[in-house]
Amino acid sequence: MTTLQDTEDASETDLAKHDEDDYVEIKEQMYQDKLASLKRQLQQLQEGTLQEYQKRMKKLDQQYKERLRNADLFLQLETEQVERNYIKEKKAAVKEFDDKKVELKENLIAELEEKKKMIENEKLTMELTGDSMEVKPIMTRKLRRRPNDPVPIPDKRRKPAPAQLNYLLTDEQIMEDLRTLNKLKSPKRPVSPSSPEHVPSAPMENPSQRYEARIEEGKLYYDKRWYHKSQAIYLESKDNTKISCVISTVGTNEIWVRKTSDSTKMRIYLGQLQRGAFVIRRRSAA
């Protein structure tokens, strides 16, 4: 009995040892299989044929291409916006240049016309008052010089004082008197309406009525209203004449207006507006 029991125990021990060896062998085989699989995947990864690698690379490539497409669209939109801004700024610069050029030309024309009228007025004044400006020599008696008297030395420091004209009237009133005298002195000549000398004479003024008129910062303040350059107005006079005009220039003591009928220009002084010689009314630009 004892021998049989020992045999059974030995058989059980060998069986357990055999099972343990099989387990170790299976475990080793699984390890080798996994290691071989990883090596095979590593080799495929290096060669670029691994399926997971290709899948992820495809996804990254799609993201890359989408980002490039968005960048190209953004560049196109920004380029179009810059081109639109450039065209807009270019048009604004051209318009400003043209406006400044026209304004400069108008201002220079007005200054030259004013200088021309001043020269013509001076010439006309010299022609009409030339006789009164001549200094007539004073008749003096010359005594005979005695033999012992010294020779008289002429006094070169004393010069005849030139005749002076003191104007107590305004420029417009002086021009009106000079035109009247010129008409009496010389025959009448037809004057073209487009000529710059064609300026209507100031009507009779009413000294009892005064208007507030002044010029500040290139704008005219008249009768509690402000007027600026290029504004459409009506110019009324005391003889019920109503002229449609546009303010072309605002000076320091006068304004220049341009008639819409024949584009001739007129100069209106602040004194005339204050005395009521001319009345300004607003009108629609249309």
Tens-digit pLDDT profile for residues 94-132? 999 999 999 999 999 999 998 998 898 888 877 776 544
Q: Strand 242-250 to strand 213-216: parallel, antiparallel, or no bridges (unpaired)?
A: unpaired
Higher-confidence position of 220 and 9:
220
- 19 half-sphere exposure, CB direction, 13 A CA radius: 6
Q: What is the pLDDT of residue 188?
A: 45
pLDDT above 50 for 265: yes
pLDDT of residue 85: 94
Q: What architecture (CATH level 2) is domain 213-282?
A: Roll (2.30)
**Bigger pLDDT: 9 vs 22:** 22
Is 55's pLDDT higher than 70?
A: yes
**Domain boundaries defined on the chain:** 213-282
Q: How far apart are CA 105 and CA 120, in angstroms?
A: 22
The more confidently predicted of residues 245 and 200 is: 245
Mean pLDDT (the chain, rounded) = 77
Tell me how far apart the alpha carbons of residues 268 and 34 are, in angstroms, rounded to a whole number.
109
Q: 247, 255 in Cβ contact below 8 A?
A: yes
Looking at per-residue pLDDT, the higher value among 204 and 46 belongs to 46
Q: What percent of the chain has pLDDT over 90?
A: 24
More confident residue, 48 or 184: 48
Token pair listed for 255: 């304004």
pLDDT higher than threshold 80 for residue 173: no
The answer, as to whether pTM is greater than 0.85, is no
The answer to whether residue 200 scores a pLDDT higher than 50 is no
